[in-house]
Structure 1
Amino acid sequence: MYQNLDLFQTSGAMARHAGSRQAVVAQNIANADTPGFRALQVPSFSEAVKNSGVGAMKMTRSNHLHGDTKAAVVARVIESAAEPAPNGNSVSIEDEMLHSVEVTREHSRALAIYRHGLTVIRATLGR
């Protein structure tokens, strides 16, 4: 029942996106001493939503024109624009720690949205 509501789908997508971003941050930190490793990054959820067309019109019936039946937020991994060190590695531990904090906040925000939605539904149902 809850999975069909857009609020829960969006908060779930936001939490999954944060998990993808955290995995990339962890990979960057793990390869901080690897010569030639180029740091990767995943854009924030808001940027991913802007580029995915999720807010565009949706097709609810087959005879609707120009609608999308299923739009999804995709976590695209891109190479970081950081300046590489002499050994070719572009990982900055300080930047990765800041990205980690930003991702943690994004994940916490997704969970707060989900919890609030459940609270509203429970209050509506009188439970």
Structure 2
Amino acid sequence: MFDQLEILSMARGLAAHSAARQSVVAQNLAQADTAGYKARDIASFGESYRAQPGLALRTTRSAHMADTAPPPALRPVIERGVDGDPNGNTVSIESQMVKSAEIQTRHEMALSVYRTTLGILRTTLGRR
């Protein structure tokens, strides 16, 4: 019953996106010394969330603008604009560590939203 609440669905999606992105960052770090390896990343959560079928942005008033952006593919893509080493590797350990910390923050936010929503539901039901 509660699994159809949009906020819980979004929190679950953010947690899953964070896990998938953390996996890609871990793969990048594991390949940091491999010649010719190109660093990869996953599209942002907002782009990935919009790409899911049936989750188009809703317009509740005529003044709202419709979302016309095409949905991106939800798969790792090679990062652009990254200078590589002479051996062709584009993995920067520092930037990957910063991404890892950002991803952890997003995952913790998803869990916090999930916990808070469940707390509100429990309070509403009188089961605090």
TM-score w.r.t. length of structure 2: 0.80
Alignment correspondent of 1:8:
8
Alignment correspondent of 1:61:
none
Runs (4+) of structure 1 exceeding 4 A deviation are: 50-53
Alignment correspondent of 2:67:
none
Alignment correspondent of 2:125:
125
Give CA-to-partner distance per residue, 1:50-91, whole Å, 9 cap, x none. 55572335xxxxxxxxxxxxxxx9633110121111001000
Measured in 2, the distance between the counterparts of 1:50 and 1:38 equals 26
CA-CA distance at 1:7 after TM superposition: 1.1
The alignment yields a C-alpha RMSD, in angstroms, of 2.3
Identity %: 38
Mapping for residues 32-111 of structure 1, pairs under 5 Å: 32-50=32-50, 52=52, 54-57=55-58, 75-81=74-80, 82-111=82-111
Mapping for residues 17-28 of structure 1, pairs under 5 Å: 17-28=17-28
Alignment correspondent of 1:62:
none
Aligned length: 114
Gaps of 5+ in 2: 59-71
Measured in 2, the distance between the counterparts of 1:115 and 1:75 equals 27
Opposite residue 44 of structure 1, the aligned amino acid is S
1:29, 1:96 within 8 Å by CA — same for their partners in 2? Answer: yes
Give CA-to-partner distance per residue, 1:9-30, whole Å, 9 cap, x none. 1100110000000000000000
Opposite residue 22 of structure 1, the aligned amino acid is Q
Opposite residue 12 of structure 1, the aligned amino acid is R
Gaps of 5+ in 1: 58-72
